[in-house]
Structure 1
Amino acid sequence: MKYTTNNPRQLAVETLVRTSSGSYSNLQINAVIESTTMNAADRGLFTNIVYGVIQHRLTLEFQLKPFLRDPEKTESWVKELLYTAMYQLEYLDRVPKRAIFDETIKISKKMGHDGTRRFVTGILHQMDRKGMPKIADIQNETDRLSVMYSVPTWLISMLQVQLGKPKTAAILKSLNKAPKQSVRFNAAKITKSQLMDQLTVDGFDVEASKVSESGIVIDGGQIIHSSFFKDGLLTIQDESAMLPVESMAIHPSDLILDACSAPGGKTTQIASHLTDGKVFALDIHNNKLKTVKRNASRLGVLPQVETFELDARKVDQKFKDEMFDQILVDAPCSGLGLLRRKPEIRYDKTPEDIERLSHIQMQILEAVAPKVKTGGTITYSTCTIVKQENQDVVSEFVRRHPDFQIDKTKTALDLHQDETGMLKIYPDDYESDGFFVCSLVKKS
């Protein structure tokens, strides 16, 4: 797509219109950055505004509503423009109010007409004169939390029932913090200490992850544009997402099935531990498997990876029983552990999605169960934090398959498991993604 401006605020409005229609924010942001000539400061402002408005959408909707006579008749881009102004006023300390008003009014005329300019100007001055409605005045507690943290009421209620009010409150408070930039060092090419030393010399601030032994938290620049990334010395991955493979105790000659592999972070993590072994990576979309191969090639582990365009529920079509030493099922899920990194998920998902996905998760486990050797392990993981997709799926699977038992999920940094041995990471625990990992051993 061609863009007719390099104005970060206007580009933010255009991007928000597309994401509100169902496009993924990270893909849209990357496309804009690659297709324009914004400088580093403008790229930062643009990204901050887009993610900020999405993160705080329910808050901003509540605050704007009293100033719109007829919200349904207000064009969507005008609302997004006003949200960008409100976000800057509320959350960005360094941007002067006059600059925000001037830029917003200019954009309203450029994207609309003089009538739009007058409309936007009037609302901005009303907000300035009257002030925003107070969230504290909302009487219902769940509604108040929903507006305060911009999380749907159904999800808050579900988490309160499953985790209790104090834990839910801690999770909600953590969700709108900026996500950390974390990478996994590529064990096939470099050691962790070597990489950390080289990153420091190159001007990055680095810290060893407190979640995964493979992880490094980085500050001081965009690592994706660095030679470290291009040369395959590291790959971008959340700290929690490294744990499923870390828990697997891989031997160099293992045959491993990665039942749901794209985009390949865990596939390549497995492959980095293999020499004469092999990881068979499945996905239902061939274009996603191309991404897996690209990542494996960049990281120098392509010889250890074999891809198959296949639904994991149909593994009987390709693979023999008891063929694999280990199987990873990083199952398709609601993604509710990723709300900090992918904020639009909170508005896209419904309780019905959770129910539907839990059935798919069970179908995948049932299909792959015969393919692991006796004594082998199925590692089941998700990036969600609700019981229906995690403990409930595992409990039902073990009930149906008494030849499997839950084993303690082991991590290098010995993270706390619950009494059953399952590992549950919540977004507030380490300010990483929410994740669930369970080890299912096939008994003799």
Structure 2
Amino acid sequence: MKTKQRRLNTARSVALTALDRVRQNGAYSNLQLNQLFSKSQLKDNDRRLATNIVYGVLQHQLTLEYWLRPFVHRHLDPWVATLLLMSIYQYHYLDRVPNWAVTNESIELAKQWGNPGIRKFVTGVLHAILRQGLADPAKIKQPVKRLSIQASVPQWLVTKLINQYGTQQTRQILESINQPAHVAIRVNTAVTDLITVERRLDRQGIGYRKSKVVPDALVITKGEVVDTTLFKEGAVTIQDESAMLAVDSMGIQPNDRVLDACAAPGGKTTQIAAQLTTGYVDALDIHQHKTRLIEKNARRLHVADRIKTYTLDARKVNEKFADATFDKILVDAPCSGIGLLRRKPEIRYTKQPQDSVHLHQIQLAILMAVAPKVKKGGIITYSTCTILNQENDGTVQAFLAAHPEFELVRTRTTRHLKNDRASATLTILPSDFASDGFFISSLRRK
């Protein structure tokens, strides 16, 4: 049966379309929203509502499915299930939106997208939910399942986090990942400085606070920084605070030659380049469209003359570079991305335990390939945006076991983050600073 014409004239119609594509086809939520916003004529407040619904449903999906289950005893078309989850999300989490408005708009969407039978079914389910209320996940007896439903994180991941970090810290991590993600900006020191940027943000009415994680960074608290002349001129760029830490820890010198082995989209590449004068950075990515993205970002940030890009698999660096070429190497490796759950909520449902095993092998292969390319006394900085040990300390230890000519040295940051830790490596949890989860290690060639 063909569906009716699906209009994009309301916040909820855009949200339903985006969520349907994400949940059915594995599309990226941010890309879908951007694409749909460009096709619709939504006002800013409607865009904010659509964004809130999309990210809220994805963040709380397992909780919402738990609440819906008692009210549905038949197979649902995927879009109908998504519409009902959207409605429950709004009932429970959006206090300022009256229930009658949610109900009316949901019924209207059921009418537009389906047939009279589906509209009648949706109406009945929503009225039953409002009449009977929602189950309390706190009453689930099994502890891991209870945490999984409350935080909307798969049970395998809850178990893995408890085994690594303990129950209390896992609770803190799970609570933090369902909070809104901050927008952080890095000041492009190649063309300006922090004080100048602050003054210009003040004049443009953009609210901000100083970063507790890295210098030359601000967290935006009000306004859209991408609409400012600062952003368009390349004086600032959007980059998470934790993501800036890898380069912050590298101690880049103005004349260094640096390899960024997994460089796209170029955030860390341009961060390195901003600190160079006579030195330069060689940036690799396996896909040509991604190396072009690095070049585009480099031009916007006025550091293109300090960057050379190569479409090259980092495991094949021997084809391009002689041994002992680089003063420093950054391997910001492909990973499961579990540290990004606040910013990319849908990945919690697509990742599986075996992904870490596969990624560990890729990470290790990249480290093995680049190892001969760093000079004696030089450092390879190995980082990921995950908080799972197998991809982090597990990869580092496997590399060191195969390469006794390297030693693990303590990762140090400008702000001396977590200096009381016992480990030489640095793990930033999403609950530490309300930034992304991140791992950084420093491997020195003896």
1:57 aligns with 2:77: no
Q: Kindly report the root-mean-square deviation, in angstroms, between the aligned alpha carbons of the 2 structures.
A: 1.1
Structure 1 match to 2:40:
36
CA distance in 2, matches of 1:167, 1:390: 18
Task: Select 2:73's aligned residue among 58, 64, 69.
Answer: 69
Task: Select 1:151's aligned residue among 150, 153, 174.
Answer: 153
CA distance in 1, matches of 2:424, 2:139: 43
Work out whether residues 6 and 113 of structure 2, in 8 Å CA contact, stay in contact via their aligned partners in 1.
no
Task: Select 1:277's aligned residue among 279, 304, 321.
Answer: 279
3-state SS in 1 of match to 2:365:
helix
1:433 aligns with 2:400: no
3-state SS in 1 of match to 2:340:
coil
Task: Select 2:49's aligned residue among 30, 34, 45.
Answer: 45
Stretch moving more, 401-410 or 58-67? 401-410
Distance apart, 1:136 and its partner CA: 1.8
CA distance in 1, matches of 2:288, 2:225: 28
CA distance in 2, matches of 1:16, 1:167: 31
Task: Select 1:174's aligned residue among 173, 176, 186.
Answer: 176
1:263 aligns with 2:260: no
- Normalised by the length of structure 1, the TM-score is 0.98
CA distance in 1, matches of 2:16, 2:330: 40
1:226 aligns with 2:228: yes
Structure 2 match to 1:127:
129
CA distance in 1, matches of 2:33, 2:214: 28
Output one character per residue of 1:71-102: Cα deviation in whole Å (capped at 9) or x when no partner.
xx211101111111111111111101111111
Distance apart, 1:352 and its partner CA: 0.4
Structure 2 match to 1:5:
8
CA distance in 2, matches of 1:62, 1:235: 40
CA distance in 2, matches of 1:101, 1:409: 53
CA distance in 2, matches of 1:33, 1:277: 41
Output one character per residue of 1:166-203: Cα deviation in whole Å (capped at 9) or x when no partner.
11111011110001110100010110111112111211
Structure 2 match to 1:295:
297
Structure 2 match to 1:112:
114
Structure 1 match to 2:105:
103
CA distance in 2, matches of 1:3, 1:277: 54
Structure 2 match to 1:196:
198
Structure 1 match to 2:254:
252
Distance apart, 1:3 and its partner CA: 7.2
Work out whether residues 3 and 36 of structure 1, in 8 Å CA contact, stay in contact via their aligned partners in 2.
no
Work out whether residues 260 and 329 of structure 1, in 8 Å CA contact, stay in contact via their aligned partners in 2.
yes
CA distance in 2, matches of 1:30, 1:275: 36
CA distance in 1, matches of 2:170, 2:221: 29
CA distance in 1, matches of 2:204, 2:228: 10
Distance apart, 1:17 and its partner CA: 0.8
Structure 1 match to 2:83:
81
Work out whether residues 206 and 224 of structure 2, in 8 Å CA contact, stay in contact via their aligned partners in 1.
no
Structure 1 unaligned blocks of 5 or more = none
CA distance in 1, matches of 2:70, 2:272: 53
**Counterpart code for 1:324:** F
Distance apart, 1:328 and its partner CA: 0.1
3-state SS in 2 of match to 1:169:
helix
CA distance in 2, matches of 1:3, 1:219: 35
Work out whether residues 378 and 444 of structure 2, in 8 Å CA contact, stay in contact via their aligned partners in 1.
yes
Work out whether residues 3 and 35 of structure 1, in 8 Å CA contact, stay in contact via their aligned partners in 2.
no
CA distance in 2, matches of 1:298, 1:84: 38
**Counterpart code for 1:427:** P
Structure 2 unaligned blocks of 5 or more = none
TM alignment of 1:207-218, pairs within 5 A? 207-218=209-220
3-state SS in 2 of match to 1:154:
helix
Distance apart, 1:325 and its partner CA: 0.6
Task: Select 1:423's aligned residue among 422, 426, 443.
Answer: 426
**Counterpart code for 1:306:** K
Distance apart, 1:207 and its partner CA: 1.0
**Counterpart code for 1:403:** E
Work out whether residues 57 and 150 of structure 1, in 8 Å CA contact, stay in contact via their aligned partners in 2.
yes
Output one character per residue of 1:324-383: Cα deviation in whole Å (capped at 9) or x when no partner.
010000000000000000001111111100110011100000000000000111000000
Structure 2 match to 1:25:
29
Work out whether residues 209 and 239 of structure 1, in 8 Å CA contact, stay in contact via their aligned partners in 2.
yes
Structure 2 match to 1:94:
96
Work out whether residues 90 and 102 of structure 2, in 8 Å CA contact, stay in contact via their aligned partners in 1.
yes
Work out whether residues 424 and 435 of structure 1, in 8 Å CA contact, stay in contact via their aligned partners in 2.
yes
CA distance in 2, matches of 1:394, 1:200: 44
Stretch moving more, 2-11 or 344-353? 2-11
Structure 1 match to 2:389:
387
Distance apart, 1:403 and its partner CA: 1.1
**Counterpart code for 1:162:** Q
Distance apart, 1:420 and its partner CA: 3.1
Task: Select 1:14's aligned residue among 13, 17, 23.
Answer: 17
Runs of 4+ in 1 over 3 A off after TM superposition: none
Work out whether residues 272 and 301 of structure 1, in 8 Å CA contact, stay in contact via their aligned partners in 2.
yes
CA distance in 2, matches of 1:111, 1:221: 34
Output one character per residue of 1:271-324: Cα deviation in whole Å (capped at 9) or x when no partner.
101112111110011101111111110000001111101110010111100000
CA distance in 2, matches of 1:201, 1:373: 47
Work out whether residues 274 and 304 of structure 1, in 8 Å CA contact, stay in contact via their aligned partners in 2.
yes
CA distance in 2, matches of 1:106, 1:412: 54
3-state SS in 1 of match to 2:343:
coil
Distance apart, 1:33 and its partner CA: 1.5
**Counterpart code for 2:121:** F
CA distance in 1, matches of 2:329, 2:158: 33
Work out whether residues 406 and 420 of structure 1, in 8 Å CA contact, stay in contact via their aligned partners in 2.
no
- Normalised by the length of structure 2, the TM-score is 0.97
Structure 2 match to 1:377:
379
Count how many residue pairs are aligned between Structure 1 and Structure 2. 440
Stretch moving more, 327-336 or 397-406? 397-406
**Counterpart code for 1:103:** E
